[in-house]
Amino acid sequence: MDTLPLNASGTEVADKPRWSIAQVEALYDLPFNDLVYRAHGVHREHFDANAVQLSTLLSVKTGGCPEDCGYCPQAARYDTGVANEETLPLDRVVAAARLAKESGATRFCMGAAWRGPKQRDLERVVEMVKAVRALGLETCATLGLLKEGQAEQLRAAGLDYYNHNLDTAPEFYGEIITTRTQDDRLDTLERVRAAGIHVCCGGIVGMGETRRTRATLIAQLANLDPQPESVPINNLVQVAGTPLEGTDPLDPLEFVRTIACARITMPRAMVRLSAGRQEMNDGIQALCFFAGANSIFYGEKLLTTGNPDVERDRALFARLGLRPMSSE
Ligand code: SAM
Ligand code: DTB
Ligand code: SF4
């Protein structure tokens, strides 16, 4: 059955999906050069092919998370050495945002290891969003599931983007996370959208899934209506102590294919080459940019794991003739 139930609940959708799983699989199955050439063409139609958007991440609440996401070093139940820390004070967040801006980032993304924010958590994030915005940075937050009314409070504070990922396709999802469903995630995405916040929604590959599962995830993302403005494609960062430690790594060229499929199916989205970049050589990153990635996390740390330092990225940009995208 290739014309897919594209909503996460697994029920058939009446309207013809814009991208069937079979169509995305057919993209994946193209000869590499044909796929990447096509993706690059789509990229050039919609973007300056030599400009890359830079976002810096900060974990404003690290560790101790009650959820069981099998990839995540911050889940309290896995022994990963990540401690359960307090929420960062506002001045620490502002100092980090200032530094990010000085280094050339245009967007500052605040992440929290919560299932979702409690009201008093949200009030602290609201203050952070206001302060970061006052520095002239775009703001993004990733705080987990949002309850009714919370997205509106974030929007009122000036939040530009909310990151919440589908992570993986429905048929594989239950092997990775049991404490919340994909439908819970779709509810949060709808709340974000309804509040007028831009949606940043993507997933993770390299978790031992099949190509078909990757194609299903891409089709699902591409069939969100409207499509997400930003699509992070994470390559699993294997962390000792998590259940996914020891998973067979994904062929890096299959990662490039995933970027290309995201670009072709979501032509106007910012496709973000996200987690896993530190483990990638410059050649693979260059192929990702050619295949349509036009956004990265910038700065030596993601949330708890490493990211290429600013010097390495500056050297890579110089080598490739890329330049940072200025904010719209
Ligand atoms: N707790 C919130 C949530 O789960 O929605 C926000 C933070 S969570 C760390 C944000 C995303 O980071 C996850 O949805 C997942 O896609 C990605 N992520 C987490 N750990 C990762 C890892 N080890 N490798 C790659 N991506 C990872
Ligand atoms: C996303 O899709 N990737 C980023 C961001 N959204 C928040 C997070 C990656 C986290 C990698 C593991 C860590 O550093 O803890
Ligand atoms: Fe918690 Fe988010 Fe990590 Fe899942 S991904 S364990 S919700 S911090």
pLDDT tens-digit readout, 17-61? 699 999 999 999 999 999 999 999 999 999 999 999 999 999 999
For ligand 3, mutation pick of 57, 61, 71, 72 (most atoms within 8 Å of CB): 72
Q: State pLDDT tens for residues 288-298.
A: 999 999 999 99
State the Cα–Cα distance between residues 20 and 202, nearest whole angstrom: 17
Smallest-distance ligand from the CA of 244? 1
Residue 261: active-site member: no
- Interacting residues of 37 by C-beta distance below 8 A, sequence separation 6+: none
Instruction: Identify which of 74, 192, 303 to mutate to test ligand 2's pocket (most ligand atoms within 8 A of the CB).
Output: 303
Query: Which distant-in-sequence residues (6+ apart) come within 8 Å of 93 by Cβ?
Result: 58, 60, 110, 128, 131, 132
Ligand closest to Cα of 232 equals 2
> Can you tell me which residue has the tokens 């403005």?
229
Q: What is the pLDDT of residues 62-97, one digit of tens each?
A: 999 999 999 999 999 999 999 999 999 999 999 999
Q: Which ligand is nearest to the CA of 69?
A: 3
Q: Verify whether ligand 3 is closer than 6 Å to residue 209 (CB atom).
A: no
- Predicted confidence (pLDDT) per residue in 155-195, tens digit: 999 999 999 999 999 999 999 999 999 999 999 999 999 99
Kindly give the number of the ligand 1 atom that is closest to the alpha carbon of 65.
1
Q: For the residues of 266-289, what is the DSSP string, one character each?
A: STTSEEEE-TT-TTS-HHHHHHHH
CA of 199 to the centre of ligand 3 (A): 18
At 5, the pLDDT band (50, 70, 90 cuts) reads: very low
Torsion of CA 139, 295, 227, 290, to 10 degrees: 170
- The model's pTM is 0.94
Select from 99, 100, 96 the least CA-distant residue to 60.
96
Does residue 8 have its Cβ closer than 6 Å to ligand 3?
no
Atom of ligand 2 nearest to the CA of 73: 15
Residue 164's closest CA among 145, 181, 183, 180?
A: 145
The residues, ordered by sequence, that sit 6+ positions from 174 with a Cβ below 8 Å of its Cβ are none
For strands 295-297 and 323-324, give the pairing: unpaired
